Amino acid sequence: MNAPVKVLSYVQAAEAIGAHAAGRPRPGTEKVGLLDAQGRVLAAGVVADRDQPPFDRSTRDGFACRAEDAGGALRVMGTVRAGEVWHVDPLGAGEAVEIMTGAPVPAGADCVVMVEHVVECGAGIELQVGRMARRGENIVPRGAEAAKGGVILAAGVRMTATQIAAAAACGYAEVEVFQRPRVAVLATGDELVQVADAPLPHQIRNSNSYSLAAMVAAAGAEAVVLPVARDERGSLETSIREALECDLVLMSGGVSMGKYDLVEEVLTGLGAEFFFTGVEIQPGRPAVFGRAMGKYFFGLPGNPVSTMVTFLLFAEPMIRGTAGESETSPRFAQATLAEPVKVKTGLRRFLPAVLESAVEGSRVKLVAWQGSGDLAATARANCFAVVPPEREALAAGEVVSVLLA
């Protein structure tokens, strides 16, 4: 007996995933060295250990002075570099100090005029004709970026190079992160053989376990790759029970309507609750999402491209929520179509494409492919162009969403 059919639109399915991902209990925590925090999710926030900047900081090479005096000649009293402090008396009327980018602004000065905007005038300097100075110009005030004790990074943030730099600036040699969730990867199907094996004409190599394991790792979790499960109820149930010992389960294959597509039947026998048994998308329409024995599971279609698309749309957000990340939505961007697209209406299409980014805008061009089993074409792509379900044709130059891979 299979699960009751519950086919959702993409929007409905995404909302269901988001709600369940947001409600995941947080995993345990551990402390790691800052350089080991790459890709990990913060379990405790990072706070500023002092004002940032800790002094009024010059943003330009130039001359610190009082704006009200900058209309006339200024006497240069000395130089202050980054890493130095002006220990002489505060600047008085008509005085300036040569200053370098990043240096503390001397007391008494309220602006920095850029070196490009001044000319020598006897023993001093003056602004070029037509130039003016304003109070606060080219100065970042103390504490403008962050006040001491302020939260720089909140718990739930994934650490990348930028966040690692911010933590380093606050004196964090190590940070507290959530433990990586363990995600079971279970490919099913009698047609599958190991990668190193020579397949017979009716067999294919098990690429899905490899793609899923790689994507699981990129999403911040630990992949537990299980042996291929055969299309037999007893064997499949044993494999699924073992998979359910992990925090989350990803199965590929066996979720369509064929006689030997037994995944839903076995899950139903284990008392599974199904949140959806299909989504109105292509590729990936037979995708299944539910919970059994207290663990969430995904039944992803077996065609390799379908597996990848449904992972990015549904499984990755759940993994990120399970890992403690606060932002779990799939990553979309906008780009201009390089050429026209024509499809059938009714399903939201995710088509392999190449995103070409440039400073003046991004363009996306479809990759010619032969359907959801075409790994060779998909390997030439770096995203999936999205075609809304109500559109059968898109013109070159239209702006579309792209799912980032």
Amino acid symbol at 393: A
Distances (CA, A) of 355 to 164, 312, 340, 343, 359: 28, 17, 15, 20, 13
- pLDDT for residue 231: 86
Domains and CATH numbers, the chain: 7-27+180-322 (3.40.980.10), 41-50+147-178 (no CATH), 57-140 (2.170.190.11), 332-404 (2.40.340.10)
- Strand 192-193 and strand 204-205: pairing? parallel
Tokens at residue 256, please? 């369509």
Residue with tokens 């992972």: 311
- 366's enclosing H/E stretch is strand 361-366
Q: Is 312 helix (H, G, I), strand (E, B) or coil?
A: helix
Distance, in Å, from the CA atom of 267 to the CA atom of 274, rounded to the nearest integer, reads: 9
| One-letter identity of residue 137 | E
| Cβ atoms of 325 and 219 closer than 8 Å | no
Paired sense of beta strands 95-99 and 62-65, if any: antiparallel
pLDDT along the chain (405 residues), means of 10: 82 97 91 97 98 98 97 95 94 96 98 97 92 97 98 97 98 98 95 91 94 97 96 92 98 72 90 96 96 96 96 98 94 97 96 94 95 94 97 97 96
Residues linked to residue 296 through DSSP beta bridges, in sequence order: 248, 291
Confirm if 302 and 207 have CB atoms less than 8 A apart.
no
- Strand 139-140 vs strand 174-178: parallel, antiparallel, or unpaired? unpaired
